[in-house]
Amino acid sequence: MPRYDVVAIGNAIVDVMAPCEDALIAQLAMAKGAMTLIDMDRAHHLYDAMGPAREISGGSAANTLAGLAALGSGCGFIGQVAQDQLGEVFAHDIRAAGITFATPPREGGPSTARCLIFVTPDGQRTMNTFLGASQFLPAAALDAAMIADAAVLYLEGYLWDPEEPRHAMRQAIAAARGAGRKVAFSLSDAFVIARHGGDFHALVDDRAIDILFANQAELAAMTGCDDFEAGIARLAPRVPVLVVTRGPEGAVALAGRGRAEVPAAPVARVVDTTGAGDLFAAGFLHGHVAGAPLDECLRRGAVCAGEIIAHYGARPEADLKALI
Amino acid sequence: MPRYDVVAIGNAIVDVMAPCEDALIAQLAMAKGAMTLIDMDRAHHLYDAMGPAREISGGSAANTLAGLAALGSGCGFIGQVAQDQLGEVFAHDIRAAGITFATPPREGGPSTARCLIFVTPDGQRTMNTFLGASQFLPAAALDAAMIADAAVLYLEGYLWDPEEPRHAMRQAIAAARGAGRKVAFSLSDAFVIARHGGDFHALVDDRAIDILFANQAELAAMTGCDDFEAGIARLAPRVPVLVVTRGPEGAVALAGRGRAEVPAAPVARVVDTTGAGDLFAAGFLHGHVAGAPLDECLRRGAVCAGEIIAHYGARPEADLKALI
C-alpha cells in the first residue's frame, strides 16, 4: 500500500478575493471567468481597483488536496512559496489541513504567488495570477520518494506555463511512472491549452496521463470541437479515464467502455465558483483511489463542488466527509 | 461643517480567523471571549495549533470606520502598520473602503499586527493579539489638522495598552478638544479596564469623553457593579452619552435624562461575533453625527451589529446603507 493517496504539484498561491460588479471587469479589461497571468505592475493596478478583500489560501492542486484531506485521504503537496508572510500563510493553511508540505521557501524575490480574484454577482470568478515564487519550483525540490509512495500523482495544467515547474512536472511523471503509480492531470484553463496544447496532446499520446480532468471549455480547446459529445468522442478513447465537468449541468466520466453522468449538487445560492473544478477533482479522486465505481466517484465530486461554491474561497468549510 | 464625520485612532491589525472546537480553547489555555495580548513565541505556538484560516483586515476602531464608510460617512484612520505584506493588505482594505489612511508604514521590525481569532461553534470569538508595529504609533504620526476637521474623534481602549499610542491618543484628545470636537471612546475589553481603569476613570472625570461605548462586562469592570442597572446608574451621570451593548439582549443608551433601548437585530445564524461591538458603534455614531435621536442611533447600531455576526470577519459584507 502506498503511504499517500495523492501527491500533487501545483502553484502555491494565496487568493485575494473581493466581490465586484460586472462593470469593473469590463473597465479593467479582464477576461471574465478566465485565469490571466499578470506581472507586478498589473497586480498593483488591479489591487488598487479592487474593493476590500479577504485572503484565503488557494492554488488549484492545493485546493484539490485540501478537499481530499478533508475527506480523509493521505496527501502531500509540492509547490514553491517565498520566504514572506503570504508564504507563511500558505504553508500554515496547507499543513493545518493535514497535508504533508516540505518544499523549502525560496529566499529573495519575487514574493509568494497571489491570485486577485474578482467575484461578480453571478458567482463567477475572474482570476489574475501573479506567479511570483511559484514559477521557480525547481526539479530539485521534488521529493521523488514521496511521489513514488503515492497512489496518484496529481498535476495542475496552470503550472505548465512557467519553465522550471514544467520541467519538474515532467520529472515527477517519470518518477511516478517508474514506481508504477497513476498520473492525474487537470487541464486547468482553456487559455493554458492555447499556450501548451501541443505538450498536453503529447502527454496524452505518450500514455503519461491516466486520469484527465477538463471542463467544457477545456474539452473544446483540446479537441477543437464545440459540440460536447463530439469532443468527448474524440478525447475519451485516448485516456484511461476522462472526467469533464459542465458547471450547473453536472459532469461526465468515461473509462474504457464505461460512461457515467451526475447532475450538479443542489446549492441554495452560488456565492463564488472559485475552486469548483478543484473540489470536483478532490471528490472524484477520493472515490477513484478507494476503487469506487465511476458514478460514485462523480457523485462525490459533485458534492464537494457544491460545498465550495456556496461560500467564498476554494478551501472547504463544511464537513465534506459527512456530506458524502 | 467639518470635512470628516469620524476620525479614529486604533490598532492596524489583520485578523487571522479559523473555526475551532471549545476543547482547543481549553487545551491552549485561552481566555474564551476575551482579547489577550501575546508575544511572537505565543503567536507561533497558537498559529501552529490553529486550523486552516482566512485573513481579513480588522482592528476595532478600523472596523467601526469600515461600517461608517459603508453607511456613507466621511472617515479617516490613524494607525501603524509595518512595511510588509500584511501592512499592504491592511492599507489596501481600509482605503478600498473609502477611508483616508495616510500613516506611513514603519520600517524594520516588528511586523504588522495580527490577531489570531478562534471562533467556536457558538459564534463566540477568542482573540490573541500580537501588536507588532501597531504598538509603535508615535504621536508624531497624528494628523492634527485631520483630527480638528472631524466631527468626532473615536478611540479604541485596546490601544491604551502600549505606551506610544497611549501618549498619541492623549495628544489627539487635546487636539480634538482644542478644535471644539467630540471624543468617543470604546472601553474595548474588561481585561484592558483591569490594566488601565484608573486612566479611563480619569478621562471620564476630566470630561475628555463625550460618548462612551461599553459592553456589559466592561460596564461591570468600570463600575464594580455586577448588576446592570446599578452599573448604569453609577456611570451614566458621568458622561454625556453612554452606550452599553448587551449581546443578544440588545443595547441601552443614556444621554442626560434620556434613555433608549433596542433589542438585538434578528440573525438567522450567529456565525462569528467578531466586530459586533465595533459595528454597533458604527451604526450609533452614524446616527449621532446626523443628529438622530437616541433610539434611532441605537437601531442603526443594532442593524450593523446584526450584519457583522452573520458572517466571518469584522468588516461589513452586505449593503449597510440599504439595511438601515
C-alpha distances out from residue B79 to A74, A226, A232, B6, Å: 44, 55, 57, 14
Query: Residue A100 falls within a domain, yes or no?
Result: yes
pTM above the 0.80 mark?
Answer: yes
Residue B257 buriedness (CB in 10 A; 0-12 / 13-18 / 19+): exposed
Mean per-residue pLDDT pooled into runs of 10, chain A (324 residues): 96 97 97 94 97 97 98 98 98 98 96 97 96 96 95 97 95 97 96 95 97 97 96 97 96 96 94 96 98 98 96 94 93
pLDDT tens-place string over residues B27-84 = 999 999 999 999 999 999 999 999 999 999 999 999 999 999 999 999 999 999 999 9
pLDDT tens-place string over residues B257-303 = 999 999 999 999 999 999 999 999 999 999 999 999 999 999 999 99
pLDDT tens-place string over residues B67-78 = 999 999 999 999
Q: Which residues of A touch B51 (CB under 8 A)?
A: 96-97
Q: Is A139 helix (H, G, I), strand (E, B) or coil?
A: helix
Please check the confidence at residue B124 and state whether its pLDDT lies above 90. Answer: yes
Candidates A42, A52, A41; CA nearest to A16 is A52
Q: Which residues of A touch B19 (CB under 8 A)?
A: 317
* pLDDT confidence tier of residue B204, bands split at 50, 70 and 90: very high
- CB B54 to CB A53 under 8 A? no
The rounded percent of chain B whose pLDDT value lies above 70 is 100
Q: Which residues of A touch B55 (CB under 8 A)?
A: 54-56, 89
Give the phi and the psi of residue B6 in degrees, each rounded to 5.
Answer: -140, 130
**Chain B interface residues facing chain A, Cβ-Cβ under 8 Å?**
16, 18-19, 47-48, 50-57, 66, 84-86, 89, 92-94, 96-97, 111, 313, 315, 317
Query: Residue A119 falls within a domain, yes or no?
Result: no
- CB B51 to CB A96 under 8 A? yes
Q: Which domain holds residue A210?
A: 4-12+59-111+133-323
Q: Which residue has the cell 480532468?
A: A213
- CB B52 to CB A85 under 8 A? no
Number of domains comprising chain A: 1
Predicted confidence at residue A238, as pLDDT, reads 97
Q: What is the CATH number of the domain that holds B277?
A: 3.40.1190.20
β partners of residue B129? B37, B115
| Type of residue at A297 | C
Q: Which residues of B touch A101 (CB under 8 A)?
A: none
Query: Residue A27 falls within a domain, yes or no?
Result: no
- CB B96 to CB A315 under 8 A? no
pLDDT tens-place string over residues B91-120 = 999 999 999 999 999 999 999 999 999 999
Q: Which residues of A touch B66 (CB under 8 A)?
A: 52
- CB A55 to CB B52 under 8 A? no
* Stated length of chain B: 324
Predicted confidence at residue B1, as pLDDT, reads 85
Query: Residue A283 falls within a domain, yes or no?
Result: yes
Query: Residue A315 falls within a domain, yes or no?
Result: yes
pLDDT tens-place string over residues B4-35 = 999 999 999 999 999 999 999 999 999 999 99
Q: Which residue has the cell 478507494?
A: A290
* pLDDT confidence tier of residue B221, bands split at 50, 70 and 90: very high
Q: Which of A65, A81, A85 to mutate to test the interface with B (most CBs of B within 10 A)?
A: A85
Query: Residue A144 falls within a domain, yes or no?
Result: yes
Compute the average pLDDT of residues B246-258: 96
Query: Residue A88 falls within a domain, yes or no?
Result: yes
Q: Which of A54, A63, A65, A84 to mutate to test the interface with B (most CBs of B within 10 A)?
A: A54
Say which of A89, A96, A97 has its CB closest to residue B55.
Answer: A89
> Which residues have C-beta within 8 Å of that of residue B240, sequence separation ≥ 6?
B210, B211, B255, B256
HEC secondary structure over chain B: CCCEEEEEECCCEEEEEEECCHHHHHHCCCCCCCEEECCHHHHHHHHHHCCCCEEEECCHHHHHHHHHHHCCCCEEEECCCECCHHHHHHHHHHHHCCCEECCCCECCCCCCEEEEEEECCCCCEEEEEECHHHHHCCHHHCCHHHHHCEEEEEEEHHHHCCHHHHHHHHHHHHHHHHCCCEEEEECCCHHHHHHHHHHHHHHHHCCCCCEEEEEHHHHHHHHCCCCHHHHHHHHHHHCCEEEEECHHHCEEEEECCEEEEECCCCCCCCCCCCCHHHHHHHHHHHHHHCCCCHHHHHHHHHHHHHHHCCCCCCCCCCCHHHHC
- CB B97 to CB A313 under 8 A? no
Query: Residue A127 falls within a domain, yes or no?
Result: no
Distance of residue A45 Cα from the nearest chain B Cα, in angstroms: 12
- CB B92 to CB A47 under 8 A? yes
Predicted confidence at residue A1, as pLDDT, reads 85
- CB A52 to CB B86 under 8 A? no
Asked whether B167 and B126 are in contact (CB, 8 A), the reply is no
Q: Which residues of B touch A85 (CB under 8 A)?
A: 84-86, 111
Shortest CA distance from B50: residue in chain A: A96
